[in-house]
Chains A and B, each alone.
Chain A
Amino acid sequence: MKIKGTQLFVKALVEEGVDTLFAYPGGMAIDLFDALYGEKDFRVVLPRHEQGLVHAADGYARATGKTGVCLVTSGPGATNLVTGIATANYDSVPLVCFTGQVPTNLIGNDAFQEVDIVGICRSICKYAVTVRRREDLGRIIKEAFYVARTGKPGPVVVDLPKDIQQALGSDEYPKEVFMRGYKPSTGVHMGQLKKAASMLESAKRPLFLVGGGVNISHAGEEMTALAEKMRIPVVSTVMGKGALPSDHPLYIGNMGMHGNVASNTAVSECDVLFSIGTRFNDRITGKLGEFAKDAKIVHIDIDAASISRNIVVDVPIVADAKEAIVKLTEIVNPPKHISGEWLRHLQELRAEKPIRIRSSAPLTPEDIIEGINRNFPELIISTDVGQNQMWTTQFIQLKGRSKLLTSGGLGTMGYGLPAAIGAKLGRPEMPVVCVSGDGGFQMNEQELATAVCEELPVIICILNNSYLGNVRQWQEMFYGGRYSCTCLRKRKSCAQWCSSPAATCPPYVPDFVKLAESYGMEGIRVTRREEIDTVFERAQKITNKPTLIEFIIEREEEIMPMVPGGNALSEMITEVKKERK
């Protein structure tokens, strides 16, 4: 039977098992939306901005492990996806993004709303392709889903010209994929794995470093079992957090730029660093020459290009994290010579030098995240970017099915709220909490409407310091306190130079509580730690709409400890020296 391209598109989504499509219409996608009218097999969600849309699809994908699917129109619809595609690419999130395009005979004519989205996205996605012939449509969609979810997952862009959408053609959607240029690696090289195993067995101060790859391949339980069998301590990157329960005795904490003292010390002092699923970027390693300089390094990663790129390793293993962990657990024996001191030393350090916010403020970020820990034993938590993100990843306790969604690689402000919306759509049974800064929240605040209209009870916590806090802290520490364009209360009437807040600062805009109310949802302002539990209890009782909680925190609260960019992990700063210029 002959059907239109748009009908094959819908059929393809059904066959791929898509249950949620994130979609925003426009002229070059209108035929597709017509085919979606009254669709019963899956839900079509209309966010309020394409950036919010793609972050929502990303949050959905991270929360469910399924592929996030987007549909937008050509031109501005497509370009609004760009930041979200790059965000997903850096964190290896499977997305398939369909973009409408002008008809093939107009491509290249600078037609109305024509952009070369495939060209724009080429370097920020896993694969991008324009469908140029109706007979290729089914195959290309099939390939797009396959490429997005296999190997190292990532976003795929499929550009759909309007004439291809309208053209009649075969109704067949292929069952199989054959791509001669794309063969994701499978299996584990047993020789290499044995080498790595014997290295671990003879180590005195071994350490596991767990990256986001372990979470992407859903290998948390397997990783925990391996660590327990070996009795080897574990540190994680921000993206690897949650692979082990945060309160596990073997889990030392996050390492890297804002990691805790014990974890960074562990990396600096270990003799075998067994790392899985991290690309060792500069936020992880600090000064390269000093990184784990006494250690032999094993590196498991699904992406051959991530191995020996930043850090030269002794035993490289290209493999899926889960597969490698399972195989390793089978063949490896607990280290014979492991020093009994080693684990104790790290556990003591962790207890002696915990991350603490020493502040006399009536409400600190630590209080808030600890409040989340108390009130949500299991949850999906999304963060925005900045201090709010670092405080969350430092203090949050992830247990059981809990997950952390955060833009680690690209650090995209505006990610948190839409990601939480996507997560709640995909995992309605889980409590979903978003922690955001006051700045980043405003980058996609329009998505409150989506949450209200979809009746999603996400709990939004804005940590309001009235600053672009992360940048402000850098200005304070490294730029003589010159607060250039980081104060969100600054008005035309303010003095041109300002390097500290005052009681007389103009009021904050917007009023977040009123903003929430204007969306028909509850907005609550919290100023003291005593209110936290009551507020979370109240928010959890609201089951058909979001709740916004604005936490007023100390304006110049710091995120500590930190390893200044380019320094060795052992050179951590734990306090800000205030000097003003």
Chain B
Amino acid sequence: MSPLLKKRWLSLYVENDVGVLAKIAGLFSGKSYNLSSLTVGETEDPTVSRMTISLYGDDKTFEQIKKQLNRSVEVIKVLDFTELSIHKKEILYIKLHSLKKEEIEDIIRSASVFGVTVCDYDRTSLILESVKTEDENSDLLAYYKKYYASRMEAVRGGSVAIESVSRSDR
């Protein structure tokens, strides 16, 4: 694989219209660009949505993707977050079930060490909620998978990102 292959971040302002998500997603699939995650939601202006997209790609493909997005009529603005100081977080839910009492206790302890919330539970199961970076969430997932692989269910939301106001580092 190309040595330039690295993770990239894009933030798009798009029209909040029917079909815009399909347009963007179709652009990636139609041109065989690999997309890792895509999140979308309304902004302070209800006619505008924002998308946060992460992908792995080389410089040339990434430049092409930005140009293709820029020339889409539905896209209002394309921001490249890759080299910028940004805040980005992903939500991750992990549901663990068929747990013994000691396991529950252990999980609650581990959760507080990892800075994860237990947002729901009963006597044999619980749900962890983590709002962290994708990498941190991957680590968490790997940790719980080690012990509870057959008794878990995980959902990841994909990252949302916003430019920092104070930090200039990354």
Chain A residues close to B by CB (< 8 Å) = 118-119, 122-123, 126-127, 130, 132, 147, 179-182, 303-305, 308-309, 312
The listed residue (B18, B19, B67, B75) touching A181 by CB distance below 8 A is: B75
A-B contact pairs, 13 of them (CB 8 A): A119-B19, A119-B22, A123-B27, A123-B30, A127-B73, A130-B18, A180-B76, A181-B14, A181-B73, A181-B75, A181-B76, A182-B73, A304-B71
CB contact under 8 A between A308 and B63, given known A147-B73, A181-B74, A181-B75: yes
Contact between B64 and A305 (Cβ–Cβ < 8 Å)?
Answer: yes
State how many angstroms separate the Cβ of B164 from the closest Cβ of chain A: 25
Contact between B67 and A179 (Cβ–Cβ < 8 Å)?
Answer: no
The listed residue (A119, A130, A309) touching B64 by CB distance below 8 A is: A309
Q: Is B26 an interface residue (CB 8 A)?
A: yes
Which B residues are CB-close (under 8 A) to A130? Answer: 18-19
Q: Is B125 an interface residue (CB 8 A)?
A: no
Contact between A179 and B73 (Cβ–Cβ < 8 Å)?
Answer: yes
Q: Report the bound CA distance from A565 to B82 in whole Å.
A: 37
Q: Report the bound CA distance from A161 to B112 in whole Å.
A: 56
State how many angstroms separate the Cβ of B77 from the closest Cβ of chain A: 8
Contact between A122 and B73 (Cβ–Cβ < 8 Å)?
Answer: no
A116 (CB) vs chain B CBs: closest residue: B19
Which A residues are CB-close (under 8 A) to B75? Answer: 181
Contact between B71 and A122 (Cβ–Cβ < 8 Å)?
Answer: no
State how many angstroms separate the Cβ of A181 from the closest Cβ of chain B: 5
The listed residue (A132, A180, A303, A309) touching B71 by CB distance below 8 A is: A303
Which B residues are CB-close (under 8 A) to A122? Answer: 19, 22-23, 26
Contact between B15 and A118 (Cβ–Cβ < 8 Å)?
Answer: no
Please indicate which of the listed interface residues A126, A181, A182, A309 has the most CB atoms of chain B within 10 Å of its own CB: A181
A184 (CB) vs chain B CBs: closest residue: B71
The listed residue (B18, B19, B26, B70) touching A123 by CB distance below 8 A is: B26
Q: Report the bound CA distance from A123 to B30 in whole Å.
A: 7
Which A residues are CB-close (under 8 A) to B36? Answer: none
State how many angstroms separate the Cβ of B64 from the closest Cβ of chain A: 6
Contact between B71 and A305 (Cβ–Cβ < 8 Å)?
Answer: yes
Q: Report the bound CA distance from A276 to B71 in whole Å.
A: 20
Q: Report the bound CA distance from A132 to B18 in whole Å.
A: 10
Which A residues are CB-close (under 8 A) to B15? Answer: 181
Given contacts A130-B19, A181-B74, 15 further A-B pairs with CB under 8 A are A118-B19, A122-B26, A123-B26, A123-B30, A126-B73, A147-B73, A179-B73, A180-B76, A181-B15, A181-B75, A182-B73, A304-B71, A305-B67, A305-B71, A308-B63
B75 (CB) vs chain A CBs: closest residue: A181
List CB contacts (< 8 Å) of B53-89 with chain A. Answer: 60, 63-64, 67-68, 70-76
The 9 closest A-B pairs by CB, nearest first: A305-B67, A127-B73, A181-B76, A182-B73, A123-B30, A304-B67, A180-B76, A181-B73, A305-B68
Which B residues are CB-close (under 8 A) to A181? Answer: 14-15, 72-76
Contact between A304 and B73 (Cβ–Cβ < 8 Å)?
Answer: no
A151 (CB) vs chain B CBs: closest residue: B71
State how many angstroms separate the Cβ of A281 from the closest Cβ of chain B: 14
List CB contacts (< 8 Å) of B10-38 with chain A. Answer: 14-15, 18-19, 22-23, 26-27, 30
B70 (CB) vs chain A CBs: closest residue: A304
Which A residues are CB-close (under 8 A) to B14? Answer: 181
State how many angstroms separate the Cβ of B16 from the closest Cβ of chain A: 12
Which B residues are CB-close (under 8 A) to A118? Answer: 19
B17 (CB) vs chain A CBs: closest residue: A129
A156 (CB) vs chain B CBs: closest residue: B73
Which A residues are CB-close (under 8 A) to B72? Answer: 181
State how many angstroms separate the Cβ of A514 from the closest Cβ of chain B: 45
Q: Report the bound CA distance from A304 to B73 in whole Å.
A: 14
Q: Report the bound CA distance from A147 to B73 in whole Å.
A: 8
